[in-house]
Amino acid sequence: QEKVQQSPESLIVPEGAMVSLNCSFSDSASQSIWWYQQHPGKGPKALISIFSNGNKKEGRLTVYLNRASLHVSLHIKDSQPSDSAVYLCAVSMASSSFSKLVFGQGTSLSVVP
C-alpha cells in the first residue's frame, strides 16, 4: 500500500512570502503526483500535477519531483491570503488503469496580510 507523508502539518506565513510544501511517497513506480487545494467546507480542487522527474511551473506554482529520493515539493511564489487552505499531496498508483489516488494527510497554510 502506497504511503504518502506531508510536512509540515501547518504553516503560517506573511503575505508575499514564498511557501514550500513537502511530500514523500513510498512507491518509486508511482505514475504521477498531484497537488490539490482544499478550502474550508469545500471539496479538494486539483492545482498541478507532475509525471516526469524534474520541475514544472504554472503561474505562481512550481512543483519539483525527485523519484530517486521519493520526494516532491510544491512552491507558491508571492503568497496571497486567498492561498490560505489545506494542500493535499496525492500519488497515483502505477498499476492502475484508472486514476486511483492515495492522499497524504495535508498541510494547512495560513497567509496573513
Partner 1 sequence: EAAVTQSPRNKVAVTGGKVTLSCNQTNNHNNMYWYRQDTGHGLRLIHYSYGAGSTEKGDIPDGYKASRPSQENFSLILELATPSQTSVYFCASGDAGRKNTLYFGAGTRLSVL
Cα–Cα distance list, 109 to 16, 42, 55, 73, 104 (Å): 13, 15, 22, 14, 15
Q: Which residues, 6+ apart, have CB-to-CB distance to 31 below 8 Å?
A: 51, 92, 93, 94, 96
76-105 binders of partner 1 (CB under 8 A): 88, 90, 92, 97-105
Q: Is 28 in the site for partner 1 (CB under 8 A)?
A: no
| Residue among 17 and 61 whose Cβ is closer to partner 1 | 61
**Min. distance of Cβ 68 from partner 1 in angstroms?**
20
What residues line the site for partner 1 (CB under 8 A)?
1, 4, 31-32, 34, 41-46, 49, 51, 88, 90, 92, 97-106
